């Protein structure tokens, strides 16, 4: 019996990927890296910031921290007028009416997560941050922590993601997972283990 909905944040609750792409493009340009949509999908999307800057630039420590802070500050400047993915508000209302709880499981830094949720007017009963649990997506740990907090089995939850990394994390925790087509292609999401793909949340109403 379904008891909870679990959502990724970026690209799932709101289409923030274009803003992240622009912020990364600006901070990486001085290093000679050109960030286009294909580069963003393959090298950045769904990963933790320290992994990204180490992989792309070989940076760690203080220099990596400064670059990440500059990128995230720029993202927050851009992310002021966010709109939820169509159908999200109706889905959450139907979930509440059915007595379901919900939560957000994200690789985003805490300040960004709170900024985006505030901009969307959302206050999830549960917020799991990968940076605070020790490992990020695609590792299943963030979703396992969410299940543990809620006292649920994997089949009592339903997850929504938008990246192959996120899908692998949720599916790896045993949770049935649907993927939104906000940033990645259907084939990549299904290959990662998604049960199906959605243009937005309007069709997700049928899953409850």
* H/E stretch holding 196: strand 196-198
Residue 149, classed as helix, strand or coil, is helix
Nearby residues of 25 by Cβ (< 8 Å), 6 or more positions away: 34, 35
pLDDT in tens, 100-151: 999 999 999 999 999 999 999 999 999 999 999 999 999 999 999 999 999 9
DSSP alpha helix (H) spans, 31-181: 37-39, 49-57, 61-78, 88-97, 110-120, 130-133, 141-150, 164-172
Domain boundaries, the chain: 4-15+85-206, 19-79
pLDDT in tens, 3-42: 999 999 999 999 999 999 999 999 999 999 999 999 999 9
Angle at 155 between CA 94 and CA 176, to 5 degrees: 75
Residue 125, classed as helix, strand or coil, is coil
Residue 84, strand partner residues: 14
Q: Which of 10, 15, 139, 162 is catalytic?
A: 10
pTM of the predicted protein model: 0.90
Span 4-15+85-206: which CATH code?
A: 3.40.50.1000
pLDDT in tens, 32-91: 999 999 999 999 998 989 999 999 999 999 999 999 999 999 999 999 889 999 999 999
pLDDT at 121: 95
Q: Is 10 a catalytic residue?
A: yes
Please, are residues 14 and 8 in contact by the beta-carbon 8 Å criterion?
no
């Amino acid at each position: 019996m379904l008891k909870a909905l679990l959502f990724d944040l970026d690209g799932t609750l709101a289409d923030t990927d274009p803003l992240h792409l622009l912020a990364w493009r600006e901070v990486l340009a001085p290093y000679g890296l050109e960030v286009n949509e294909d580069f963003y999908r393959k090298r950045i999307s769904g990963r933790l910031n320290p992994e990204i800057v180490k992989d792309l630039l070989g940076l760690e420590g203080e220099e990596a921290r400064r670059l990440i802070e500059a990128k995230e500050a720029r993202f927050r400047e851009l992310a002021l007028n966010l709109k939820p993915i169509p159908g999200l508000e109706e889905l959450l209302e139907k979930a509440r009416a059915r007595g379901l709880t919900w939560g957000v499981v994200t690789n985003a830094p805490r300040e960004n997560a709170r900024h985006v949720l505030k901009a969307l007017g959302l206050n999830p009963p549960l917020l799991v941050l990968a940076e605070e649990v020790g490992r990020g997506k695609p590792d299943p740990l963030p979703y396992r922590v969410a299940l543990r907090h809620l006292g649920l089995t994997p089949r009592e939850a339903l997850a929504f993601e938008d990246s192959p990394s996120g899908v692998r994390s949720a599916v790896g925790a045993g949770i049935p997972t649907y993927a939104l087509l906000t940033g990645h292609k259907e084939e990549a999401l299904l290959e990662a283990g998604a049960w199906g793909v959605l243009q937005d949340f309007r069709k997700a109403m049928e899953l409850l």
